[in-house]
A and B are shown apart, each in its own frame.
Chain A
Amino acid sequence: MTELRGLATHENLKRAFEAEAQTAHKYLYFAKIAEIEGYPDLSQLLHEMAEGGSCNAHGHLDFLRRVGDPQTDMPMGVTDSNLASAIAAEIREHNKIYPEMAEAARKEGFPDIASWFDTLAKLKQAHVERLHEAMEKVIYSSKEKDQ
């Protein structure tokens, strides 16, 4: 089989994954508003479509995992590598992506959005710690299994 990495189809899978993931979350958001406004049927429909979108996003990941995590380009597919990649992504968001976004927002005159990005940068740090703890447990239990 042709190596997927670097080809247009690889890029397309990444873009399609982003789009489906985005749609799913956007529909959940719309569903909430529809519910508040008193359109339960529409809310239900949006929920169902979000569920479908989530399934499609996973379908894209089914192929992407042949190459790696689209966010970090690290291997993924089994728990050990999934965790390692998740931690790498959270670290990057914590010390690079969100701080840069916050700075840009501040420069452009949006202190509230800057504060929002700062808040998320801190949350990502907390996530890194939680994931580290989880990874230690996973490694510990797989060692036990080996013995």
Chain B
Amino acid sequence: MSEHNSTRAAPDPIHVLHSYDASSITVLPGLEAVRKNPSMYIGSIGQEGLHHLVYEVVDNSIDESQAGFCSRIAITVGADGSCAIEDNGRGIPVGIHPEHGKPACEVVLTTLHSGGKFKKGSYQVSAGMHGVGISCVNALSEWLELEVWIDGIHYRQHYARGVPLSGVQVIGPTEKRGTLLRFLPDASIFQQARAFSYATLSKRLEELAYLHPGILITIEDQRTGRTQGFQYQSGIFGYVEHINRSRTVLHPRPIHILDSMDGVEIELAMQWTTAYADDVISFVNSINTIYGGTHVNGLKAALNRVINDYADQAGMIAAENGEKIAIFDILEGLTCVMSILMPNPQFEGQTKTRLSNRDLKKLVELVVGRHLAAAFKDDPRLAVQIVGRALEATRARQAARRAAETARFHSIDTRVTEEVYQKQFGIRSRNWHESATWITDKGLLGLHADLCKKAGNTRMLDVCCGSGVVGAAFKGRVGEMVGLDLTPQMIELAKERLDEVHQGTVYDLPYKDESFGLVVNREVLHLLPHPEKPVSEIYRVLEPGGQFIVGQIIPYGAMDAAWMFRIFKKKQPLFFNNFQEEDFRRLLQGAGFVNIQMKEYLLWESIDLWIDTHETTNLHRHEIRDLFYNAPAEARAVHPFEILPSGEIRDQWRWAVFSCFKPGEGFFQ
């Protein structure tokens, strides 16, 4: 250090405040540890960890805004894959830090956990996600550039992999105030990551803008030219309204709770919708606790107690007979954003996004319970709407279970009544098209159509046509397009796409033998207790040489199949066959089909959307999420899926599209 100080003896304020000799350019031990074991500090070296770098820097600016010194944060994703975060805060101090004998900014950028030294006393609650500080970002960046505008002077300093390449240079006078950090993540560290995702970043920034009313956060993506700005005065109340903007809400205004107790500030907004899934988003000091924790448990406990008490007192249930509304039924359709500000939050789990402060449960339960009970008392109409909604969910859950049980009962004599499937699929039309990407994915539909080997005047049948989307994909390649489905609602929808649509069941097709040259079908056979029967029916109505094209989601192999079985069965009680490739070939062969070919198509799906249907109970939704969060290693090894920082799950589905023929004249080789 003394060598160091001597070079500082005659500072030239215009050029170099601080210079370095070779001996000082060594990697600091702390940062070496970060580079050796990055996951320990930022969670992962995949997409999540990569984006974490940005959040870490942004969180510093958020702290500055919380302290009242910063109103704007600008994020720029560079064309070179770098990211810059600029704020108009006080600027990181550049003066010499008395303990370290170095510029304070350099201490922050090169010492692990050094941020606190400057923050102590200045911020009540700090956002810094894992509190690892921007020195981690520096250590994990191929290069990093710091610019500071402070006290009328513009400074700059360069780093590479955490090592300063120069002293803090004075660039010139300025009117501006603030800090800018621009960095390029080190590709040798982030081997499992792709580039920064605009969608991921903008979603988090939007979240932060809602959590910190008034602050302006902008994002610019120089790779694509996209830019967006987020600034809201409405806080989390507005956030709930924003999330529910495309949903049908049960009551016009979200319930808003703002209270504090024992130094903990609790803010919460909640509103029920007619959707199936619940959307409970929770933050602790701006950290998105995607795995919940004690605060979310407190919320659930409060809802459970207040809603059951109300239902009992209003005579809606008979609590003395043990009747009770289950918590999943209460959560169904709930959109809730909860923000907790507290000193010393404790997190657990590898991702550290589950709150573990034990006393928080009681505290949240008490505060939320008190306010919700008061809201119910003030507005009995609201109470009846919400409690009634939960009761309805209980009844629907029981009905869904009965439908699956009835299907099983009927399957003993290989018949499934239309009624059972009508119950299951009749209401499907509501949000079915939005529930999964595959339904309207052009590539997947194109793959079905490309397999068509029949002449242009072929009469085609789309079995269980849903809304006729698959059949319609063959337009122009075939002649008359006929559809068949169970329910009048689906038939109405399909009529928009196909020439004519009939009502009937796949177990007994209402057509004469050899009526069609082509039959198409998708994602249906796995839902039928005895798929052999419909496949042989399809064979029957095909003319000799006729073609059958059928799409089915299948596991990647034996290793993920048992895990997938549990997920699909929980999503859909009528899931009866977990086909693997050889099973499906055997099914087609068994009916007499020949020349069986399979084409594969991989497609990313949002699991959160997929499970937001009436077919799935709320307990099952939570269990499905848990199956992804804690997927067994053997399933992970073969089956790609990802959990985004927001907790959303994206899964890559393996579509198998089979083509096969009924032997006979005109059979295409």
Q: Are A111 and B576 in contact (CB under 8 A)?
A: yes
Q: Are A126 and B576 in contact (CB under 8 A)?
A: no
Q: Are A109 and B327 in contact (CB under 8 A)?
A: no
CB distance from B531 to the nearest CB of A (A): 9
CB distance from B630 to the nearest CB of A (A): 9
Beta-carbon contacts under 8 Å, A105-145 to B: 109-112, 115-116, 118-120, 122-123, 125-126
B599 contacts A by Cβ under 8 Å? no
- For residue B409, which residues in chain A have a CB less than 8 angstroms away from its CB? 109
Q: Are A36 and B619 in contact (CB under 8 A)?
A: yes
Q: Are A109 and B408 in contact (CB under 8 A)?
A: yes
Q: Which residue of B lies closest to A39 (CB)?
A: B297
Q: Are B411 and A109 in contact (CB under 8 A)?
A: yes
B622 contacts A by Cβ under 8 Å? yes
Q: Which residue of A lies closest to B635 (CB)?
A: A123
Q: Are A36 and B622 in contact (CB under 8 A)?
A: yes
Given that A115-B578, A118-B583 are contacting pairs, would A36 and B565 also be in contact in the complex, using a CB cutoff of 8 Å?
no
Given that A33-B619, A109-B411, A110-B408 are contacting pairs, would A115 and B565 also be in contact in the complex, using a CB cutoff of 8 Å?
yes
Q: Are B529 and A123 in contact (CB under 8 A)?
A: no
A3 contacts B by Cβ under 8 Å? no
**Which of B294, B328, B562 sits near A123, CB closer than 8 Å?**
B562
CB distance from B575 to the nearest CB of A (A): 7
Over the window 17-45 of chain A, the binary record of Cβ atoms lying under 8 Å from chain B Cβ atoms (1 yes, 0 no) is: 00000000000000011001111100000
Q: Are B297 and A38 in contact (CB under 8 A)?
A: yes
- For residue A109, which residues in chain B have a CB less than 8 angstroms away from its CB? 408-409, 411-412
Q: Are A122 and B580 in contact (CB under 8 A)?
A: yes
User: How many angstroms from the CA of A38 to the CA of B294 in the assembled complex?
Assistant: 9
Over the window 565-607 of chain B, the binary record of Cβ atoms lying under 8 Å from chain A Cβ atoms (1 yes, 0 no) is: 1000100000111101001000000000000000000000000
Q: Are A115 and B294 in contact (CB under 8 A)?
A: no
Among the interface residues B300, B412, B561, which one has the most CB atoms of the partner chain A within 10 A? B561
Q: Are B569 and A112 in contact (CB under 8 A)?
A: yes
User: How many angstroms from the CA of A118 to the CA of B622 in the assembled complex?
Assistant: 26
Beta-carbon contacts under 8 Å, A30-71 to B: 32-33, 36-40
What is the interface residue range for chain B against chain A? 20 to 34
User: How many angstroms from the CA of A38 to the CA of B622 in the assembled complex?
Assistant: 12
User: How many angstroms from the CA of A123 to the CA of B632 in the assembled complex?
Assistant: 13
User: How many angstroms from the CA of A33 to the CA of B328 in the assembled complex?
Assistant: 11
- For residue A33, which residues in chain B have a CB less than 8 angstroms away from its CB? 619
What is the interface residue range for chain A against chain B? 20 to 34
- For residue B411, which residues in chain A have a CB less than 8 angstroms away from its CB? 109, 111
Q: Which residue of A lies closest to B580 (CB)?
A: A122
B493 contacts A by Cβ under 8 Å? no
In the complex, number of A-B residue pairs with CB atoms less than 8 Å apart: 67
User: How many angstroms from the CA of A125 to the CA of B559 in the assembled complex?
Assistant: 10
- For residue A119, which residues in chain B have a CB less than 8 angstroms away from its CB? 558, 561-562, 565, 578, 580
CB distance from A12 to the nearest CB of B (A): 32
Q: Are A123 and B619 in contact (CB under 8 A)?
A: no
Given that A118-B578, A122-B558, A123-B558 are contacting pairs, would A111 and B530 also be in contact in the complex, using a CB cutoff of 8 Å?
yes
Q: Are A123 and B575 in contact (CB under 8 A)?
A: no
Given that A40-B297, A122-B558, A122-B561 are contacting pairs, would A112 and B576 also be in contact in the complex, using a CB cutoff of 8 Å?
yes
**Which of B300, B408, B530, B626 sits near A32, CB closer than 8 Å?**
B626
- For residue A125, which residues in chain B have a CB less than 8 angstroms away from its CB? 558
B110 contacts A by Cβ under 8 Å? no
Over the window 81-125 of chain A, the binary record of Cβ atoms lying under 8 Å from chain B Cβ atoms (1 yes, 0 no) is: 000000000000000000000000000011110011011101101
B361 contacts A by Cβ under 8 Å? yes
Q: Which residue of B lies closest to A33 (CB)?
A: B619
Q: Are A38 and B327 in contact (CB under 8 A)?
A: yes
User: How many angstroms from the CA of A112 to the CA of B577 in the assembled complex?
Assistant: 6
CB distance from A45 to the nearest CB of B (A): 14
Q: Are A116 and B578 in contact (CB under 8 A)?
A: yes
User: How many angstroms from the CA of A122 to the CA of B563 in the assembled complex?
Assistant: 13
CB distance from B19 to the nearest CB of A (A): 55
Over the window 621-663 of chain B, the binary record of Cβ atoms lying under 8 Å from chain A Cβ atoms (1 yes, 0 no) is: 0110010000000100000000000000000000000000000
Given that A112-B408, A116-B578 are contacting pairs, would A126 and B622 also be in contact in the complex, using a CB cutoff of 8 Å?
no
**Which of B297, B301, B576, B622 sits near A115, CB closer than 8 Å?**
B576
Q: Are A37 and B327 in contact (CB under 8 A)?
A: yes
Q: Are A126 and B559 in contact (CB under 8 A)?
A: yes
Beta-carbon contacts under 8 Å, B314-353 to A: 326-328
User: How many angstroms from the CA of A120 to the CA of B634 in the assembled complex?
Assistant: 13
User: How many angstroms from the CA of A37 to the CA of B558 in the assembled complex?
Assistant: 32
CB distance from A142 to the nearest CB of B (A): 26
CB distance from B463 to the nearest CB of A (A): 19
User: How many angstroms from the CA of A86 to the CA of B326 in the assembled complex?
Assistant: 42
User: How many angstroms from the CA of A123 to the CA of B304 in the assembled complex?
Assistant: 40
CB distance from B303 to the nearest CB of A (A): 9
B380 contacts A by Cβ under 8 Å? no
Q: Are B361 and A40 in contact (CB under 8 A)?
A: yes
CB distance from B85 to the nearest CB of A (A): 36
User: How many angstroms from the CA of A42 to the CA of B505 in the assembled complex?
Assistant: 48
Over the window 548-569 of chain B, the binary record of Cβ atoms lying under 8 Å from chain A Cβ atoms (1 yes, 0 no) is: 0000000001110110010001
User: How many angstroms from the CA of A33 to the CA of B619 in the assembled complex?
Assistant: 8
CB distance from B458 to the nearest CB of A (A): 33
Q: Are A38 and B300 in contact (CB under 8 A)?
A: yes
- For residue A39, which residues in chain B have a CB less than 8 angstroms away from its CB? 297
Among the interface residues A110, A120, A122, which one has the most CB atoms of the partner chain B within 10 A? A122
- For residue A115, which residues in chain B have a CB less than 8 angstroms away from its CB? 565, 576-578
Q: Are B557 and A126 in contact (CB under 8 A)?
A: yes
User: How many angstroms from the CA of A37 to the CA of B296 in the assembled complex?
Assistant: 11
User: How many angstroms from the CA of A116 to the CA of B566 in the assembled complex?
Assistant: 9
Q: Are B301 and A38 in contact (CB under 8 A)?
A: yes
- For residue A111, which residues in chain B have a CB less than 8 angstroms away from its CB? 411, 529-530, 576-577
Q: Are A40 and B294 in contact (CB under 8 A)?
A: yes
Q: Which residue of B lies closest to A107 (CB)?
A: B412
Q: Are A126 and B297 in contact (CB under 8 A)?
A: no
- For residue B634, which residues in chain A have a CB less than 8 angstroms away from its CB? 126
- A38-B297, A109-B409, A115-B576 known, 15 other contacts, Cβ within 8 Å: A32-B623, A32-B626, A36-B622, A38-B304, A38-B327, A109-B408, A111-B529, A111-B576, A115-B577, A115-B578, A116-B569, A122-B561, A125-B558, A126-B557, A126-B634
27 interchain pairs (CB within 8 A)? A33-B619, A36-B619, A36-B622, A36-B623, A37-B326, A37-B328, A38-B296, A38-B304, A40-B297, A111-B529, A111-B530, A111-B576, A112-B529, A115-B576, A115-B577, A116-B562, A116-B578, A118-B578, A118-B583, A119-B580, A122-B580, A123-B558, A123-B559, A123-B562, A125-B558, A126-B557, A126-B634
Shortest beta-carbon contacts, A-B, top 9: A38-B300, A109-B412, A126-B558, A122-B558, A36-B622, A111-B529, A112-B576, A38-B297, A119-B561
